[in-house]
Amino acid sequence: MAVIASSTLRGRLRALASARALLALPGVVATLILLALHVAEVPALRSLGNLLFDTYQRAYPREYQPAPVRVVDIDDETLRRLGQWPWPRTDVARLAQLLTDAGASAIAFDIVFAEPDRTSPARIAKMLAASPDATSDFAGVARMADHDVLLGQTLARTPTIPGFFLTRDANAVRPEQKGGIAVLGSPIEDALPGFNGAIVPLTVLSAQAAGAGFVSIVGDSDGIIRRAPLLARIGDRIVPSLSLEALRVAQQAGAIIVRGTDGSGEMGGGAPGVVKLKVGSFEVPTTPAGELWMNYTLPRPDRIVPAWKILQGALPRAEMERLFAGNIVFIGTGAAGLRDLVATPIADRELGVIVHAQAVEQMILGAFVVRPDWAPGVERLGIVLFGLLLSLALPRLGATWGGVVALIALAGCFVASWLAYRDHQLLVDPTVPALAIVTAYMVVTSFTYYREERARAYIRNAFDRYLSPEMVERIARDPGSLELGGEERDMTVMFCDIRSFSRISEKLGPQELIKFLIEFLTPMTDILIGRKATIDKYIGDAILAFWNAPLDDPDHPENAARGALAMVEALHRLNALDPRPPGSHWPGEVKIGIGLNCGTCCVGNMGSAQRLSYSLLGDTVNLASRIEGLTKFYGVPIAVGSELAARLGGFPMLELDAVRVVGRDAPERLFALLAAPEAATPEHGALAAAQTDFLAAYRTQHWDSASLKLADLVPSFEALGMAKLAGVYAERIAAYRIMPPAADWDGVYQAMEK
């Protein structure tokens, strides 16, 4: 009997162990899948780590230490004092000479001088001679020294490094090779970011300069600059970045020495790549692609000197030498309209030249953030240990104690990673090991139940705030309608954006800004939903809405137009409130721009199998976004595309322009929406007819006639609050008088910004 009992007990124990193993199996499988994804370096997983590293940067930015690096900014005040950009190259030469006289060790231009100076005497003489009022051939002016030649002569006697662009488009242009690049180890070209061509400075400039470096900085998939490229490849040729070349020129060094994975004495095996660079007396650790992990500081105004202070002699000689003697100086354009803006973990909008400057600061100070070669191995070990051990332990521990263990393991991962960054400036990504912990827990304990509850919560929380109650009920009755996919529909799309939102953000604290947005978005949303719109999303201060989906709306063009007009009117009322309600954080007069367009869109549930969004896409949507962006340029609150304008019979409208927007080849006629049909007046019709006459003269290049007609339109434009529109055309006509467009010009304006 004892033998039988013992045998029975062993059988039960084996059965229990087998059941627990089966319960652990989904967690084990999920862990192995995560491990495989990490080994494959799936971009989505890298993005998680990047976002965490961004948080580290914001929480513990590099402490600013004085370094021999300065930025000379051609800012708005500089342009106000010295005139619009581009300047005559003689002014650029004078700036370079003054910095050299002050003792600058290198002067790097985050500017590409690819075109001849239009203010050179020969060009001015040619334009003057072509004038109908010319009384001379201006030969004496034409014989004066060319500005580009004068700048080239200055570059020859100053330690200057002009920038050049790298392009994906193939061409035969190659930058000047000023310093050698010596590679120790196997060839590394395949590891570097590759380009097919370049846009370089004029030969008369580049041939005289001390160096040449590329200014192109490409961010990650989300556009954020986390790594600054120090090397790149054009064809089979390696070229240095502006920051790296500036450091070389400042030291008067010869070759840049590149140590590869099998030539560094530190790493072995794996695909050839870069380990570190040596520039003069400085060694710089890099990624295998030759990039520098950026270690940003908070903004430092004392890093920047406005260009006007130098060119107008506002700085005494002693102060010039204090600021620039022995310094590497980067010259960039920070004025509105010229800004080379990039996103960094520290700032959503940062001047590109600051990235170059901070890269050199790090190389000089040795203040590096490093992702060591052993980091991926540690992360994979964490995936296996945490995922497998938690999967095997959860059937014994149960959901409650298993959750406690999972939380402790999660905290351990993130704390260890944070300490490695804070104390040793090492980037070790805890997100995928943490994901293994969470995945194992969810799969083993309540995967199926969780998915069902999450789906129900998603339907209610995601849809009832921006869809009609009928649609929410329809989805709740048929969850299958949330499957990925879409349908083509004829739709009207709206983009609405607050003007000068960055300035509003500067005035308000974070909580005040949120309250202001609620104060603005709530009435606007009420108007849109009342006009049968579907709110796609709020993008910060912007609204994306559409009509005729998911429910049919045969009057969607009219509903969209009336909704836009009602929003503008509601904003006028909000601006005029006096006194304001208690708790209001309204920042003064607020203006908006609304872009409307209609056409065929693909609308439906889009995204991934894990997270859906009822949204739309297509050329109609993209064009609506561009139209909204152009409302600020033309100074109108509401602009519509030609297709929608054709469907809004009875609505007073005014043709604005024919525009070729960024990213689109086909031109589009834009119209300003003035009022609802019941508010139409004879003056609206007269104005539209006068505008049509003006545009006809403008597009046929009859500038005198166009100017006269435009002058007649100005009072009407001003009465409608559209004075900026007259200014836009007046500037164009003045420019075309000096430099007429081609004979086959079709009257279409090429927009330069989104």
- What letter represents residue 252's amino acid? Q
Most confident option among 138-147, 467-476, 726-735: 726-735
Question: Which candidate, 228, 211, 210, places its Cα nearest to that of 219?
Answer: 228
Beta bridge partners of 601: 489
Question: Which candidate, 551, 391, 399, 410, places its Cα nearest to that of 468?
Answer: 551
Q: What is the pLDDT of residue 476?
A: 56
Q: Express each pLDDT in 658-691 by its tens digit.
A: 999 988 889 999 999 999 999 999 999 999 999 9
Beta bridge partners of 331: 72, 109
Question: Percent of the chain having pLDDT more than 70?
Answer: 88
Q: Cβ(524)–Cβ(570) under 8 Å? A: yes
Q: Cβ(156)–Cβ(93) under 8 Å? A: no
Q: What is the pLDDT of residue 4?
A: 39
Beta bridge partners of 233: 194, 238
- Beta-carbon-side half-sphere exposure of residue 719 (alpha carbons within 13 Å): 9
**Residues 6 or more apart whose Cβ sits within 8 Å of residue 739:** 127
Question: Which candidate, 501, 597, 512, places its Cα nearest to that of 547?
Answer: 597
Q: How much is the mean pLDDT over the chain?
A: 86
Q: How far apart are CA 239 and CA 181, in angstroms?
A: 8
- What letter represents residue 72's amino acid? V
Q: What is the pLDDT of residue 556?
A: 96
Residue whose pair of structure tokens reads 């048929």 in the numeric block: 478
Cα 403 to Cα 132, 396, 408, 451, 457, distances in angstroms: 85, 12, 9, 18, 22
Total residue length of the chain: 754
Q: What is the pLDDT of residue 267?
A: 43
Q: Express each pLDDT in 278-287 by its tens digit.
A: 999 999 999 9
Q: Cβ(111)–Cβ(216) under 8 Å? A: no
Q: Is the pLDDT of residue 147 over 70?
A: yes
pTM of the model: 0.55
Q: How many CB atoms lie within 10 A of CB 136?
A: 10
Q: Is the pLDDT of residue 479 over 80?
A: no
* Choice among 116-130, 266-280, 582-596 with the minimum mean pLDDT: 266-280
Residue whose pair of structure tokens reads 């009420």 in the numeric block: 526
Q: How far apart are CA 338 and CA 340, in angstroms?
A: 7
Q: What is the pLDDT of residue 545?
A: 95
Residue whose pair of structure tokens reads 């240990």 in the numeric block: 385
Question: Which candidate, 67, 608, 574, 642, places its Cα nearest to that of 302?
Answer: 67
Q: How far apart are CA 336 and CA 75, in angstroms?
A: 8
Q: Express each pLDDT in 5-64 by its tens digit.
A: 444 444 444 544 444 555 667 777 888 888 888 888 888 888 888 898 999 999 999 999
Q: Cβ(373)–Cβ(276) under 8 Å? A: no
Tokens for 410? 């999660």
Q: What is the pLDDT of residue 461?
A: 60
Better-predicted residue by pLDDT, 629 or 338: 629
Confidence of residue 291 (pLDDT cuts 50, 70, 90): very high
Q: Is the pLDDT of residue 629 over 80?
A: yes
Tell the burial category of 449 from Cβ atoms under 10 Å away from its Cβ (0-12, 13-18, 19+): exposed
Q: How far apart are CA 227 and CA 108, in angstroms?
A: 20
- Vertex 428, ends 422 and 430: CA angle to 5°? 105
Q: What is the pLDDT of residue 131?
A: 73
Q: Is the pLDDT of residue 368 over 90?
A: yes
Q: How far apart are CA 58 and CA 509, in angstroms?
A: 18
Q: Express each pLDDT in 85-142 by its tens digit.
A: 888 999 999 999 999 999 999 999 999 999 998 888 878 777 777 777 766 767 776 6
Element (H, E) at 122: helix 121-129
- Chain centroid offset of residue 76 CA: 22
Q: Express each pLDDT in 152-182 by its tens digit.
A: 999 999 999 999 999 999 998 999 888 889 9
Cα 33 to Cα 29, 229, 383, 436, 584, distances in angstroms: 6, 32, 10, 9, 51
Q: How far apart are CA 342 and CA 692, in angstroms?
A: 40
Q: Is the pLDDT of residue 503 over 80?
A: yes
- Chain centroid offset of residue 588 CA: 28
Q: Cβ(225)–Cβ(294) under 8 Å? A: yes
Mean pLDDT of the region 315-327: 94
Confidence of residue 471 (pLDDT cuts 50, 70, 90): low
Q: Cβ(675)–Cβ(651) under 8 Å? A: yes
Tell the burial category of 744 from Cβ atoms under 10 Å away from its Cβ (0-12, 13-18, 19+): exposed
Q: Is the pLDDT of residue 338 over 80?
A: no
Q: Is the pLDDT of residue 145 over 60?
A: yes
Beta bridge partners of 69: 328
CATH architecture of 488-678: 2-Layer Sandwich (3.30)
Query: What would the 3-class secondary structure string for 231-279 be?
Result: EEEECCEEEEEHHHHHHHHHHCCCCEEEEECCCCCCCCCCCCCEEEEEE
Tokens for 707? 């100017």
Mean pLDDT of the region 570-596: 91
Question: Which candidate, 300, 242, 228, 294, places its Cα nearest to that of 111?
Answer: 242
Q: What is the pLDDT of residue 239?
A: 94
Cis peptide before 86 (omega within 30 of 0): yes
Q: What is the pLDDT of residue 469?
A: 56
